[in-house]
Amino acid sequence: MWWMAEKRDGQEIIRLYLPAELKEKFKLYCQLKGLTMTEVVRQTVEQLVESEDFTKLLGERLKESSSPSATRKGG
């Protein structure tokens, strides 16, 4: 039988593929910390998108996309 993840209001499912050895190490890390793999992934993603590096990169990309040369079509 095919397994389906349960839907949760306001949340999205992300599937990712990892090498088997990396997955097992990650699973062990989570167990040692007393956290689920979902909790650790969520915390890590939150840290990434709240980081100064992300803010800087986003600002640079927004500036690039709003420059006159980026909005001209056909040169």
Check pLDDT > 80 for residue 73. no
Check pLDDT > 80 for residue 75. no
Cα 65 to Cα 49, 50, 51, 54, 69, distances in angstroms: 20, 21, 21, 16, 9
Q: pLDDT tens for residues 1-60?
A: 566 677 788 999 999 999 999 999 999 999 999 999 999 999 999 999 999 999 999 999
The model's pTM is 0.71
